[in-house]
Amino acid sequence: MDFSYILYGSLGFLPGIFWLFFFLQEDSKRAEPKRLIASTFFWGGAATFVVLPLQIAAKYFLLAGGVMSGNVLHVFALAAVEEVLKFAAVYFWISGRKEFDEPIDAMVYMVVASLGFATVENVATVLRATSAPELLTLRFIGATLLHALASGLVGYYWSRGIVRHKVRTFVVYGILIASVFHTIFNYLMVAWGPSLRVTGLLILLAFAVLRDFEELKKPSIEEGFVSGLAG
């Protein structure tokens, strides 16, 4: 048995677990059940196995229509597939549960699922890499955090949609915004590689997402959320 292979595969969990504990601090006062956190993380990871064939189909469809792989529409479409599937995994698993009872929950569960998704990607990527520790370091600040932040945005708009009684509209808006950020990140990684400029973009997005967490903690938002769930 090649224990280095097992070790590298295990290391693929580290970025996701670190960011999981980091973002769960945003909901530490009314923490979600551990079983739901664990199961949401699992279903987020499972979504990767649905995303892959859908992305292959999307690539085929786009290429057939003359949209080449470097085209912005091509990159956006593949990013959007991921954002839609991450949301679907959370929506069908969490929506309607009694534990889904405060505005911040939408962001928390979206971030948790996205980290499950990113962890499966990390494990697969590390196992194929020639320099696993170096690649893992790059994904720690790069793709793993990007997934969490993008899904956090979707969760924010989902929660606001419940408050406004316009869930579908707000979720579509959130997925579009998250997909745009995802696309920009992918383009910059190709153009600049891992750099301070790309890290700077993630830091700005992180501040925005953390601000959204705080906004959803306002009593007025919570009242509207409870009303939206009841209606």
Statement: residue 198 has pLDDT above 90? no
With contact defined as beta carbons under 8 Å apart, do 27 and 37 qualify?
A: no
With contact defined as beta carbons under 8 Å apart, do 83 and 154 qualify?
A: yes
User: What is the band of 1 on the pLDDT scale with cuts at 50, 70, 90?
Assistant: very low
Q: Decide if 154 is inside a domain.
A: yes
Amino acid at 130: T
Crossing angle, helix 104-128 and helix 196-215, to 10 degrees?
Answer: 150
d(CA 229, CA 214): 20
Q: Decide if 4 is inside a domain.
A: no
- For 156-184, the pLDDT digits (tens) are 999 999 999 999 999 999 999 999 999 99
Q: Please indicate whether residue 57 or residue 68 has the higher confidence score (pLDDT).
A: 57
Q: Decide if 8 is inside a domain.
A: no
d(CA 169, CA 182): 20
Q: Is the pTM of this model over 0.95?
A: no
- The count of structural domains within the chain is 1
Statement: residue 191 has pLDDT above 90? no
Task: List the domain range (segments joined by +) for residue 87.
Answer: 13-24+32-230
Q: Decide if 2 is inside a domain.
A: no
Q: How far from 146 is each of 62, 201, 223, CA to CA, in Å?
A: 25, 10, 30
Q: Decide if 52 is inside a domain.
A: yes
Q: Decide if 155 is inside a domain.
A: yes
Instruction: State residue 119's pLDDT score.
Output: 92
